[in-house]
Amino acid sequence: MYSTVTDRYAHTAQLVNPSLNFRAVFQSSSWGSAPTTAYTTVSADMDRIVFDHDLLICQSQSNAGTRNSRPQAWAKNVVSVSGQYHRNTLARTDDAWSSGALIGPAADGRLKPDLSHCYDQINTTSSASATSYTSTFGGTSGATPITCGNFGLLFQMWADGVFAGSPGLGRDVFDSRPHAATAKALRSIRRTSIPLAARHTT
């Protein structure tokens, strides 16, 4: 997608256009521009996209192991995602940043990433065959869609009325969804269960 989308603003507008068939409630992006610590015009463009189209966007930070990040992830309105090693165990005692993913903060002092997830040994489909899997997928490119998938659950819970105290409403998730800013604010629920990569020891 990165190589074919020439106008991200227009592309994102299509995802929320009620006259089209896409009906998206979030976007997961594991690509971006050259890493920096600065809030750039690219960052500002991302903020405008989220604000104008009211679509939650999860953006991978990068895997530099430094403060440098894709400028898309420095945007204030996106949910920027970093990662940590989970070693493929249930124990949290061996989870660690280990100088892998970006840790922030931004040059202007803002704390980023917003969230993180495990980004090693992620089981996913393989290109080898229609029924094969691989555990070699990883990095923030893997942590970001996992995090966005959790936001998908949040949107379903919102439509069902869980946050209103009356679950079982069964509303359409596309017609009854929180604003992107509201969904991002609810990230604190996730943050209590999966710490930021910056909070992990090496």
| Residue 89 pLDDT | 87
- pTM comes to 0.86
Q: H-helix or E-strand containing 181?
A: helix 180-185
Q: How confident is the model at residue 14 (pLDDT cuts 50, 70, 90)?
A: very high
Question: Has residue 117 got a pLDDT over 80?
Answer: yes
Is residue 156 in a domain?
yes
End-to-end, the C-alpha distance of the chain in Å comes to 34
Could you identify the residue written with the tokens 């493929």? Answer: 88
Question: Has residue 202 got a pLDDT over 70?
Answer: no
Measured at the alpha carbon of residue 55, what is the angle toward residues 53 and 57, in degrees to the nearest 5? 125
The closest alpha carbon to 79, from 156, 6, 10, 178, belongs to 178
| Residue 187 pLDDT | 74
Is residue 24 in a domain?
yes
| Residue 6 pLDDT | 86
For 123-152, the DSSP string reads EEE-SS-TT-EEEEE-SHHHHHHHHHHHHH
Whole-number Å distance between alpha carbons of 154 and 160: 10
The closest alpha carbon to 62, from 148, 144, 1, 184, belongs to 144
Q: How confident is the model at residue 138 (pLDDT cuts 50, 70, 90)?
A: confident
Average pLDDT, the chain: 89
Is residue 136 in a domain?
yes
Whole-number Å distance between alpha carbons of 106 and 77: 14
The closest alpha carbon to 112, from 48, 49, 62, 42, belongs to 62
Q: Chain centroid to CA 53: how far? A: 17
Is residue 158 in a domain?
yes
Looking only at the bridges linking them, the beta strands covering 122-125 and 133-137 are antiparallel
| Residue 35 pLDDT | 94
Is residue 2 in a domain?
no
Is residue 70 in a domain?
yes
Looking only at the bridges linking them, the beta strands covering 79-84 and 56-60 are parallel
For 136-163, what is the mean pLDDT? 93
The closest alpha carbon to 74, from 95, 43, 51, belongs to 43
Q: Number of folded domains in the chain?
A: 1
Instruction: Look up the CATH number of the domain holding residue 112.
Output: 3.40.50.200
Question: Has residue 194 got a pLDDT over 50?
Answer: no
26-82 pLDDT per residue, tens: 999 999 999 999 999 999 999 999 999 999 999 999 998 999 999 999 999 999 999
| Residue 120 pLDDT | 85
Is residue 1 in a domain?
no
Question: Has residue 189 got a pLDDT over 70?
Answer: no
Q: What is the domain range of residue 141? A: 8-199
Is residue 92 in a domain?
yes
Question: Has residue 104 got a pLDDT over 80?
Answer: yes
